[in-house]
Amino acid sequence: MKSVLGILITCVGLSSCATAQNAANAMLKTDSIAEKMLVYQLSNGGWPKQLEDKSVVKYEYPLTEGLMQKIKATSPLHATIDNNATSREINALVLAYKQTDNKAYLKAAEKGIDYLLKAQYANGGWPQYYPDKSSYRGEITYNDNAMINALTVILNIVYQTNGFEVVNANYRPKADKALKNGIDCILKTQVVQNGKPVIWAAQYDENTLKPAKARAFEPASLSTGESVGIVRFLMKLKNPTAEIKIAIKNAINWFESTKIVGYKYGIIAPNDKGLVADTTAISWARFYDLNTNKPIFGDRDNSIKASIEEISKERRVGYAWYGTFAQNLLAKEYPKWLKANGK
């Protein structure tokens, strides 16, 4: 970036030179991570979680010539909301704009918002990838909070929170519609057992809205971690409708009825994991059968087992099969929300 002095020297004797403006441009503040996000942004407005050669996007890496070539070779088909991609960049760029007043950051963030609005299905759901819909990438994806991350960006636009008041006002009516459709999708996809709604699956068929499988070890099932994220999102909504309140209450009741008291997920032998006794612990399995509410465990061969001991050791130690997913939700967050919003 040129110095102000350099610009002034360049402009000496040139009456048409807008010295003041150029000097201001020269002094434009930048953010090192935001600058890299501009480089990684794909032509459709989204961001990848990995490049064409499957290397993971890491903004702490220097932009070497070799890395720049990999970024340029990455197809827009890699645009995704998985692993926080796209929502992470939009949030960071909005903050960077507020800190630097660098309009390039806001422009990139709004292009990312355009991508999210375009990627949303008419039924309100978001696919894991867009426009690539191969394999399970086209499924409505709550897994790893993908859809909830996208909806939180939309919510911030509507509520003008977390710095999103800087986003062009023209986005608000579009975001309001996207938010309503997204909430509708959440309510429609809450799994129902014998007439009673419980929690949610991690993925859904984008056409039938029925729970669907993803990777071999991720069967169609009730998903605790993702459902906690959904409930937390619903509790952010202002003036929640009776339907939203009921959805939250039903999910809370399910978490209460399925908690595993006195055990935590930990090391049971060298290089092996399972449930370990702990009188202070409260846990849930990651996946539950859609009908019986019993924990289930998937393996790389597409098999589904009833106990963690039955799956391969590689999967036992390489995946979070149990966790404290809803502990804070039940103990602190829901009571606080209930006090503020009534029964």
- Domain C-terminal end among 131, 166, 188: 188
What's the structural domain count of the chain? Answer: 3
Same domain, 209 and 337: yes
Going from the C-alpha of 175 to that of each of 21, 139, 180, the distances in angstroms are: 35, 22, 9
Going from the C-alpha of 309 to that of each of 296, 302, 304, 319, the distances in angstroms are: 11, 16, 12, 13
271 is catalytic: no
Same domain, 234 and 341: yes
Q: Give bridge partners of residue 298 from the DSSP assignment.
A: 304
Phi-psi region of 188 (alpha: psi -120 to 50; beta: other; left: phi over 0): alpha
Q: Rounded to an integer, what distance in angstroms lies between the CA atom of residue 148 and that of residue 132?
A: 20
- Among residues 195, 225, 183, 250, which one has the least CA distance to residue 326? 225
Q: Above 50 in pLDDT, residue 311?
A: yes
- Domain C-terminal end among 156, 188, 220: 188
Average pLDDT over residues 333-340: 97
Interval 169-202: pLDDT, tens: 999 999 999 999 999 999 999 999 999 999 999 9
Average pLDDT over residues 249-261: 97
Q: Considering the candidates 84, 137, 172, 215, report the single residue annotated as catalytic.
A: 215
Same domain, 219 and 162: no
Q: Above 60 in pLDDT, residue 19?
A: no
Please provide the average confidence, as pLDDT, over all residues in the chain.
Answer: 92
Same domain, 39 and 183: yes
Interval 20-51: pLDDT, tens: 544 454 467 999 999 999 999 999 999 999 99
What is the maximum span of the chain, computed from C-alpha positions, in angstroms? 83
Helix axes 87-100, 146-159, angle to 10 degrees: 30
Q: Give bridge partners of residue 48 from the DSSP assignment.
A: 79
Same domain, 204 and 284: yes
The stretches of 101-222 forming alpha helices (DSSP H) are 103-119, 146-159, 171-189
Q: Rounded to an integer, what distance in angstroms lies between the CA atom of residue 81 and that of residue 58?
A: 15
- Domain C-terminal end among 139, 159, 188: 188
Same domain, 184 and 138: yes
**Cβ atoms 68, 39 nearer than 8 A:** yes
Q: Above 60 in pLDDT, residue 333?
A: yes
**3-class SS of residue 221:** coil
Same domain, 14 and 62: no
| Domain span including residue 134 | 31-188
Q: Rounded to an integer, what distance in angstroms lies between the CA atom of residue 78 and that of residue 57?
A: 11
Q: Considering the candidates 44, 83, 102, 149, report the single residue annotated as catalytic.
A: 83
Same domain, 21 and 105: no
Same domain, 279 and 164: no
Same domain, 22 and 49: no
pTM: 0.90
Same domain, 170 and 205: no
Interval 86-127: pLDDT, tens: 999 999 999 999 999 999 999 999 999 999 999 999 999 999
Listed range (123-132, 203-212, 309-318) with the worst mean pLDDT: 309-318
Query: What b/e sequence results for 189-206 when a residue is b if at least 16 CB atoms lie within 10 Å of its CB, and e otherwise?
Result: bbbeeeeebbbbbbbbeb
Same domain, 157 and 208: no
Q: Give bridge partners of residue 273 from the DSSP assignment.
A: 267
172 is catalytic: no
Query: What are 40's two structure tokens?
Result: 């990684």
pLDDT of residue 47: 98
Q: Give bridge partners of residue 287 from the DSSP assignment.
A: 223
Residue 162's CATH number: 1.50.10.20
**Cβ atoms 179, 155 nearer than 8 A:** yes
- Of the chain, the percentage scoring pLDDT greater than 70 comes to 92
